[in-house]
């Protein structure tokens, strides 16, 4: 068997030379990509595969746009952020209790208050995120009396003259005469910009023997 070892080895080596020899490649006239036309600069894309043809010394490349990778890994829809009342303050019309001596994280509006306002800052938003909806978490103790609750998502835009204040979207007024769990929400479409800050303005009116317990705000965003 030893007499055949050398010829076998030489035969395998010859096959390796035939099948593993490099194939000449020619560059295409334009850079292929996943979208029509070539990217502006080479840093816009990465090559992910190459299929080489021996006939005519041609090859086919597959590219992935870096913007597609950014969308794939950095964009997340329907992400809900919960905002408590830790930073809340009483607004221009008194009535709300935002730092009551209790072991609960909530703001309360006692009985017999008229158009009392509370301001809740919305923190944690990043530039480029899109707010797609928002809503409240509150409980109304009615005991048959009339209670109304309004809430408006607003934004302050910084400017040289003065910051401007504008509504992004308000919920439909909650008006009840029975004990109610309120999760009123509002669909919006607002992209967070660098010079903007957001807050919710809450307005409540309570009859005798009624009250409101306000737990916080929910903000749903598309992160990108």
Tens of pLDDT, residues 82-113: 999 999 999 999 999 998 889 999 999 999 99
Instruction: Collect the ranges in the chain with pLDDT lower than 70.
Output: 1-74
Fold for 76-223, please state it: Jelly Rolls (2.60.120)
Chain-centroid distance, C-alpha 17? 55
Per-residue pLDDT at 68: 61
C-alpha–C-alpha distance, residues 113 and 202, integer Å: 13
Q: Which residues of the chain does CATH 2.60.120 include?
A: 76-223
Closest CA to 198 of 109, 131, 138, 128: 131
pTM over 0.85: no
Place of tokens 């306002």: 117
Where helices occur in the chain by DSSP H, the ranges are: 2-20, 66-74
Helix (H) or strand (E) holding 204: strand 196-206
Per-residue pLDDT at 101: 87
DSSP 223: E
């Amino acid at each position: 068997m030893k007499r055949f070892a050398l010829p076998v080895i030489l035969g395998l080596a010859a096959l390796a030379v035939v099948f593993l020899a490099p194939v000449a490649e020619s560059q295409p006239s334009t850079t292929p990509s996943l979208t029509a036309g070539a990217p502006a600069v080479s840093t816009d894309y990465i090559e992910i595969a190459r299929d080489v043809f021996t006939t005519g010394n041609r090859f086919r490349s597959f590219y992935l746009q870096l913007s597609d990778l950014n969308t794939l890994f950095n964009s997340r829809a329907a992400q809900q952020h919960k905002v408590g009342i830790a930073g809340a303050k009483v607004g221009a019309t008194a009535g709300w209790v935002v730092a009551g001596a209790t072991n609960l994280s909530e703001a309360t509006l006692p009985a017999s208050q008229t158009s009392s306002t509370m301001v809740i800052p919305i923190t944690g938003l990043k530039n480029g995120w899109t707010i797609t909806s928002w809503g409240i978490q509150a409980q109304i103790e009615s005991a048959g009396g009339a209670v109304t609750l309004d809430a408006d998502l607003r934004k302050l835009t910084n400017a040289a003259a003065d910051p401007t204040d504008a509504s992004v979207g308000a919920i439909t007024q909650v008006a009840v005469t029975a004990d109610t769990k309120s999760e009123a929400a509002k669909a919006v479409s607002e992209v967070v910009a660098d010079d903007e800050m957001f807050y919710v303005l809450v307005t409540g009116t309570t009859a005798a023997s009624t009250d409101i317990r306000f737990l916080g705000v929910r903000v749903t965003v598309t992160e990108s």
